[in-house]
Structure 1
Amino acid sequence: MKQESDIILALKPFLKVLDRLGISYYVGGSIASSTYGAFRATRDIDMVLNLNPTHIDELVHSLKNEYYIDRDMILDAIKHKISFNLIHLKTMFKIDVFLLKERAFDQEAFRRKKENKIEESDRLTVFCLSPEDIILHKLEWYKEGNFVSERQWQDVAGVLKVQGDQLDKNYMKKWAKEIGVLDLLEKALQEVQ
């Protein structure tokens, strides 16, 4: 699968630098939902980083030959608590980087991240959101997008169908109530039964 190979090519150098600098992360978005549910092609990689501003110069220096990366964009993202991105020059894969939020749910999801293989043949192991947390995040994105993103809804349904009884439904309901998506979770659970 060329799609997965491009993902791996785009991720490997970035993950190597994150590891060397001791920056913890997880992969989310459609890559994480594809890991637990139905595969969906994508041209970007969503990641959450627990980024310390003291790492920025070394991060930029270490990645500038393989990625388009902008130091000022990263500083602005930290200052305004927004995302930034980098682009892997060889594959043109975009990596959207979101900074870890202080919200209790985000902290818990970060703590619960799980190691997963993205592609069996290459055995690239990455930290991904847990299946429960990817469902909750996707429901939140679906709600924030005014309930129109069929892709988000299909990703949720795919993870629910594939993971089934392995999911911790009590955990999901607790946090769904906390972040305001309990009605959507219940609707999604009903639809996949």
Structure 2
Amino acid sequence: MNDDISVALKVVRVLERLEVPYLIGGSLASSTHGLARATANADIPADLKTDHVDEFVAALEADFYVSKDSALQAISRCSSFNLIDYSTGFKVDIFIPRNRNFDRMQLSNRVQIAVSDDDMAFFASPEDTIIAKLEWYRAGEEVSDRQWNDISGVIKLQGANLNLEYMQDRAKELGISDLLDRVLEQAGD
């Protein structure tokens, strides 16, 4: 198990103990479903509520820089906050789900994956990994080769196993159908 996953799992175990629905997304998910690459952070969408914050912070503050105020603000705004592992400097971004269909679907479609011989964690599905990364690609003005390559890697590795209809429906909801069509066309070349 690599250090990135080990750090993310420290946070995941606390979320599980608090019974907070979560998933590991971003580059850790695309590396799991596609082509592996190094990353500077872990993205974890988690349905953290204000009544979880005190216990969440208390459980992690010995190993991570974590701000209770930032967590509460993120929850109230449905945005994000981060934790930084003291020993590695690795950053874990916690994303509070927005009130939209895609965020709900992502959590309901999460898949449990073995991260070592005796350890499991929930990850975004391959389809949701693609859609989330396409949304980030659009938000970043469509210039990140890294995001695009992550998406292409998942498509190439997962191929015919992908639920194309599901992805098309989510892409339409998020206004990124053009990007999905383009990446699918390029991956087929």
**TM-score exceeds 0.5:** yes
Report what 1:84 is aligned to: 81
- The equivalent position to 1:142 in structure 2, one of 137, 149, 152, is 137
Report what 1:20 is aligned to: 17
Superposed, which structure 2 residues align to 1:29-44 within 5 Å?
29-44=26-41
Deviation at 1:123, TM superposition (A): 4.0
Superposed, which structure 2 residues align to 1:1-193 within 5 Å?
4-118=1-115, 120=116, 123-193=118-188
Which residue type is aligned with residue 139 of structure 1? L
* SS at 2:143 equivalent: coil
* SS at 2:87 equivalent: coil
CA RMSD of aligned residues (A): 1.3
* SS at 1:42 equivalent: coil
Which moved further from structure 2: 123-132 or 28-37?
Answer: 123-132
- The structure 1 segments of at least 4 consecutive aligned residues displaced by more than 3 Å after TM superposition are none
Are the counterparts in 2 of residues 9 and 91 from structure 1 also a CA contact under 8 Å?
no
* SS at 2:45 equivalent: strand
Distance in 1 separating the partners of 2:140 and 2:102: 19
* SS at 1:25 equivalent: coil
Distance in 1 separating the partners of 2:139 and 2:12: 29
Distance in 2 separating the partners of 1:28 and 1:8: 12
Are the counterparts in 1 of residues 27 and 39 from structure 2 also a CA contact under 8 Å?
yes
Which residue type is aligned with residue 164 of structure 2? K
Query: Measured at CA, do residues 123 and 150 of structure 1 come closer, stay the same or move farther in structure 2, by a change above 3 Å?
Result: farther
Are the counterparts in 2 of residues 116 and 127 from structure 1 also a CA contact under 8 Å?
yes
**Deviations 1:115-162 (CA, angstroms, capped at 9, x unpaired):** 1123x4x54311111001110111111111111011111011000000
Are the counterparts in 1 of residues 79 and 97 from structure 2 also a CA contact under 8 Å?
no
Distance in 1 separating the partners of 2:85 and 2:62: 9
Instruction: Give 5+ residue unaligned stretches, structure 1.
Output: none
Identity, % of aligned pairs?
41
Distance in 2 separating the partners of 1:189 and 1:12: 32
Which residue type is aligned with residue 148 of structure 1? V
**Deviations 1:32-54 (CA, angstroms, capped at 9, x unpaired):** 00001000101210000101110
Deviation at 1:80, TM superposition (A): 2.4
